[in-house]
Structure 1
């Protein structure tokens, strides 16, 4: 539930508040890229706090910028529906939480297997989210 609330807050800011003025000024594609860069920069610190290395963070930030084009398209083609964009974001977050993705910066500890390290990473991420939401 907290993840859904934070996702809605993100969408209210990035989409409902910022998209229209940026699109009026720069057009849809440039506005999406500007928001994507801002969105990526906001996530750099949490990515680093989660133990990811610089290479992973850069790749994730590039993915984030590219991914911002999808919500912009959805927003513009659904009559500016923030609900549709939030649903897209929720499905993306759900996919990331259900599908384990190996991360290059998270080396296996001696005597441990990949599943154990991935589980440790997921627990660290969950603890970080809980601490962040508790503030």
Structure 2
């Protein structure tokens, strides 16, 4: 039910932007974009309060605020994985005769216009917070109560990808202006989000279900993709390779090597 509400709630603000021809870089469009982005997180919090008792609610906010859940080791993993994927994708592309990695527009123009870096900073901060309070903060736990980590990652990844769909029809969005609908890049983007979902579950399950760690990971994925530009094929292919390595090493059931998937404190455990 949460997944349906999260997608429908966001689309309720983004579909009117399509119908009215509103651009996301306009004042009205920016409001519609931000409200739509906030829906997964707002409803994630609402479902936490509807589903769990005080123990579960406290657990949620601890996962959002506690640094100790991921520590230095997993913080290093969080920071190195997206950076490593971007750099390695650029190297692979270069070895195959492509242009290799280049700096994003925000970096190249920073010396002349420091404001040019703001889009990268925006995508690295606000959207991950607004989204992950729901996707991983609520939905992933509920999916893993019934299914393996791999199945939960697949379901959430598909829904997460479809959630972005209206953006491809709204001018002023990255998806519309830089990717386009039904292009090769479109299919790579949509499939790549599913691959990212596997990596996010792996980090989440190995950091005591840290939502804060996932927010940092999501933001760092966005930021590195903005500042280090590499061809989509090599970039997303490496995320699929990483997903396969994770499942092969840590196991499809939990992606942790443990026998059980970590789960929130349920009412029956009182």
Q: TM-score, normalised by structure 1?
A: 0.69
- Do the aligned partners of 2:144 and 2:152 also contact (CA within 8 Å) in 1? yes
- Do the aligned partners of 1:12 and 1:82 also contact (CA within 8 Å) in 2? yes
- Do the aligned partners of 2:157 and 2:193 also contact (CA within 8 Å) in 1? yes
**Unaligned stretches of 5+ in structure 2?**
1-120, 171-175, 234-270
- Do the aligned partners of 1:74 and 1:85 also contact (CA within 8 Å) in 2? yes
Q: 1:28 to 1:2 in 2, by over 3 A?
A: same
Shift of 1:103: 6.9
**Unaligned stretches of 5+ in structure 1?**
105-135
Is residue 2:135 matched to residue 1:14? yes
Question: What secondary structure sits across from 1:78 in the alignment?
Answer: coil
- Do the aligned partners of 2:188 and 2:232 also contact (CA within 8 Å) in 1? no
Question: What secondary structure sits across from 2:164 in the alignment?
Answer: helix
- Do the aligned partners of 1:48 and 1:57 also contact (CA within 8 Å) in 2? no
Is residue 2:210 matched to residue 1:81? yes
Of residues 164, 173, 197 in structure 2, which corresponds to 1:43? 164
Deviation above 3 Å: which 4+ runs of structure 1? 101-104
Q: Would you say how many aligned residue pairs link Structure 1 and Structure 2?
A: 104
**Higher-Rg member (1/2):** 2
Shift of 1:73: 0.7
Q: Counterpart of 2:185?
A: 56
Shift of 1:99: 1.8
